[in-house]
Chain A
Amino acid sequence: DIQMTQSPSSLSASLGDRVTITCRASQNIDNYLNWYQQRPGKAPRLLIFAASRLHNGVPSRFSGSGSGTHFTLTISSLQPDDLATYFCHQSYSVPPDTFGQGTKLEIK
C-alpha cells in the first residue's frame, strides 16, 4: 500500500497569512493526488484534483502543486472559513485508496 504522510499535523496561522501543507507519498504517484477540506462536523469537500486542478466553486486562494512523491496545498491568504482539517488522497495505486493523516488548521 502507498503511505501518504502529511506535515505538519497541525498549524496555527493568522488571517491573511500564506499557509502551505505538504503531502509525501511513499512511492511515485505521478499527479494522482487530491486534496479535501473537512470543516468541523462536516463531510470532506474536494478542493484540488490531479495535484493542481481547482474543483468547481473552490476559491482561487487555494492552489496545489507537485508530482511524483512531493505535493503541496497552499492557501494564499488565510480566511476565517478555512478553519478545517485538510487531507490528501492518492488514487494512483488502488486498492486501497490511501489518505494522509490530516492537517488541522487553526486560526490564531
Chain B
Amino acid sequence: EVQLVESGGDSVQPGGSLKLSCVVSGFNFDNFWMHWVRQIPGKGLEWVSRIKNDGSYTTYADSVKGRFSISRDNAKNTVFLQMHSLTAEDAGVYYCARAQYDSSGYFFDYWGQGTLVTVSS
C-alpha cells in the first residue's frame, strides 16, 4: 500500500524556520519526482516545489524562491522542505505528493495527509 506521511508542521513566529518531512512507503521512491503543495485552510491549492527522482533538479514557486529548499534522502524514502524567513502568507497545510508521469504531462496520484504550519507572533 502506498503511503506518504508528512511531519514537522508547527507554530512559528514570523521570520522563523521549519523543516517538513515526508516519509513514503509502498513504492520505489527513487523512481518518482516528488512535490510539495500547500493550502490555506478553506482555500485553494498552491504548488510550492518539486524535486527530481535522483535529487539533481529542483524548482520552486516564485513566492518561496530563495527561502525554501527541497531535498530528498532516497535511502530513507524521505523528502524534505526546509523553510526559512516564514511569513503569515506561508501558513497552511503542506502536502507532499507523488508525481506520476504520462504522455500527457504528470499528475499527483498519491498525497500525504498534510502537516499544518502556523505563522504567528
Contact = CB atoms under 8 A, between A and B. Distances in A.
Interface residues of A, number: 28
Contact of B109 (A42, A51, A55, A92): A55
A43 B35 CA distance: 14
A43 B47 contact: no
B33 to A, nearest CB: 11
B81 to A, nearest CB: 15
Interface in B8-64: 35, 37, 43-47, 50, 59-62
A82 interface: no
Interface in A44-87: 44-46, 49-51, 55, 87
Contacts, number: 71
A100 B47 CA distance: 11
A96 B111 contact: no
B7 interface: no
| Chain B binding surface SS class | strand
Contacts of A95: 47, 50, 59-61
B108 A44 contact: yes
Contacts of B121: none
A22 interface: no
A95 B51 CA distance: 12
B47 A98 contact: yes
Given A43-B114, A87-B45, A96-B47, A32 B108 contact: no
Interface of B: 35, 37, 43-47, 50, 59-62, 95, 100, 102-114
Interface of A: 30-32, 34, 36, 42-46, 49-51, 55, 87, 89-92, 94-102
8 contacts: A32-B104, A49-B107, A51-B104, A89-B45, A91-B106, A96-B59, A96-B62, A99-B44
List the 8 closest A-B pairs by CB distance, nearest first: A91-B105, A32-B105, A50-B104, A97-B47, A49-B107, A43-B111, A34-B107, A99-B45
